[in-house]
Amino acid sequence: MSTRRKVSLITLGCARNEVDSEELAARIEDAGWDLTDGADGADVVVVNTCGFIEAAKKDSVDTLLAAHDSGAKVVAAGCMAERYGKELAEALPEAHAVIGFDDYTAIGDRLDDVMAGRAHQAHTPRDRRTLLPISPVERTASAPDVAIPGHGGQDDLPDGVAPASGPRVLRRRLGGGPVAPLKLASGCDRRCTFCAIPAFRGAYVSRPPAEVLEEARWLAGHGVRELVLVSENSTSYGKDLGDLRALEKLLPGLAGVDGIERVRVSYLQPAETRPGLIEAICGTPGVAPYFDLSFQHASGPVLRSMRRFGDRERFLELLDQIRAQAPEAGVRSNFIVGFPGESEDDFEELAEFLSAARLDAAGVFGYSDEDGTEAAGLDGKLDPGEVARRVEELSSLAEELTAQRAEDRVGSQVSVLLEDKAEDGAFEGRAAHQAPEVDGTVLVRGDGLALGEIVTARVTGSDGVDLVADVP
């Protein structure tokens, strides 16, 4: 019977956070702890928080409080903990420790401190945009030639620079499947006026292609069949390595890894989605023709105020370029409504774009001030009630349009990765136009099906954004 202490690791937010949790999990196990699913029986619960928007921060606090109610000791990690540090520790005494990114390499020591009742001094947050990122050459000079997951090699990074990679463990025994996120880079160099991510994630640092490929092989060896490439901005991959075409060069190599059936790219900036990248995503066998495009709005004046590129016409032209090469390509996006200064005409421009775009999935969020962002100081703030009305109106339109897009796929053939068993011998999976968790799913019916395989099925029905399909 194991006498090792137990840690429950709860992950909130995006797939990027999931990769961070896997790296934390590896370090926790290396420090002599056992990972357990759920807070019951855990000595410590580590919550990898999200700090992107107000709703995510509330969810993080609620999760920390629920963990405390379980009787376990509680550690706050992740973006919210990094962003607020001492402020969060003072406001939430239920957390026994609030740790920043610089504590990750010593997570075992932090957990020992918590169990021993030793107080941990939470950090004073710094604006990581002012910190010089470690260069790829410097980063790899002191690491192994290839940073193999689970073997460290980057514990000597300068303070304030988040590691671009680290040891990793697939927590498949805690409910995983044949899909895994694969981190391309850390940080972001864009300066959108509404976003605080660069302030606590730091400058953009790409992982070397050889390192990404080695991790892909490692994941394939652990049963992964679909890789989801994640970063704060995947279209910037390679710019700090001196190669703006690094991503399109990398995709064929990833798709060619033995055991990998599908590669999916997430979080593309419209301004950086160049023709060569479109061609690589649409035309590389094994790469899903899927475009997670961060439009955010469609009114030119609002986008300029957000310090972003584009307008309705340019975005529709981009979609035309994509569908000229892959007519059935999946496209999803997120939109902010109620941004300071957004007029009724601006809102109507966004609604018209949504009607014409034929998106497979769309997230709609109401604007809220975020600490430390330029937008928080802008004039023209809308009444919260008006923001809520616009969110409801656009969300309703998006739900109707994405359901219609799914219905349009009835009669078509889709390649579905089978991920879970459903009732009556059916399986639930995802087609190439559907990303994990954020998009719809496909209920697949047929004989001789098995988890983890990709099957070709004909779509026979739809329910909202979800599809029903049969394998002959």
Q: Tell me what pLDDT residue 2 has.
A: 52
Rounded CA gap, 268 and 224, in Å? 23
Spatial separation of the C-alpha atoms in residues 30 and 41, rounded to whole Å: 20
Query: Integer distance in angstroms from the first to the last C-alpha of the chain?
Result: 49
Distance of CA 27 to the CA centre of its chain: 21
The residue-averaged pLDDT of 380-408 equals 97
Q: What pLDDT score was predicted for residue 153?
A: 36
Please say whether the beta carbons of 44 and 70 come within 8 A: no
- The predicted structure's pLDDT at residue 128: 59
- Determine how many CB atoms are found less than 10 A away from the CB of residue 344: 9
- Count of Cβ atoms closer than 10 Å to residue 66 Cβ: 15
pLDDT at 41: 81
Q: What is the pLDDT of residue 127?
A: 63
50 is in an annotated binding site: yes
The tokens describing 435, both together, are 């990303």
Give residue 175's identity as a one-letter amino acid code: G
Task: Spell out the domains of the chain, with CATH numbers in brackets.
Answer: 6-124 (3.40.50.12160), 140-151+164-408 (3.80.30.20), 412-470 (2.40.50.140)
Q: Rounded distance, CA 286 to CA 251, Å?
A: 9
Q: What is the pLDDT averaged over residues 176-181?
A: 81
Which residues share a beta bridge with 296?
335
> 63 pLDDT band (50/70/90 cuts)?
confident
Q: Is the pLDDT of residue 268 over 80?
A: yes
Nearest to residue 365, comparing CAs of 341, 398, 343? Answer: 398
Write the CA distances from 80 to 17, 56, 63, 66, 236, integer angstroms: 11, 9, 12, 17, 24
Q: What integer pLDDT is reported at residue 165 of this predicted model?
A: 43
For the whole model, what pTM was predicted? 0.81
Q: In the β-sheet with 262-265, what is the strand arrangement from edge to edge?
A: 179-183, 226-230, 262-265
| Contact yes or no for 457/469 (Cβ under 8 A) | yes
Angstrom distance (rounded) from CA 243 to CA 238: 5
The answer to whether 14 is a known ligand-binding residue is: yes
Annotated ligand binding at 282? The verdict is no
Question: How sure is the predictor about 303, in pLDDT bands with cuts at 50, 70 and 90?
Answer: very high
pLDDT at 25: 85
> pLDDT digits over 22-61, tens only?
888 888 888 888 888 777 788 888 888 887 667 777 888 8
Task: Give the pLDDT score at 129.
Answer: 54
CA distances from 311 to 296, 318, 373, 392 (A): 10, 11, 23, 22
Q: What is the CA radius of gyration of the chain?
A: 22
Mean pLDDT of the chain: 85
* Coil, strand or helix at 121: coil
Q: Degrees (nearest 5) of the Cα angle 289, 278, 346?
A: 95
pLDDT at 380: 95
User: Does 430 score more than 70 pLDDT?
Assistant: yes
Distance between CA atoms of residues 427 and 420, nearest Å: 6
pLDDT score of 159 more than 60: no
Q: Which of the pair, 152 or 431, is modelled with greater confidence? A: 431
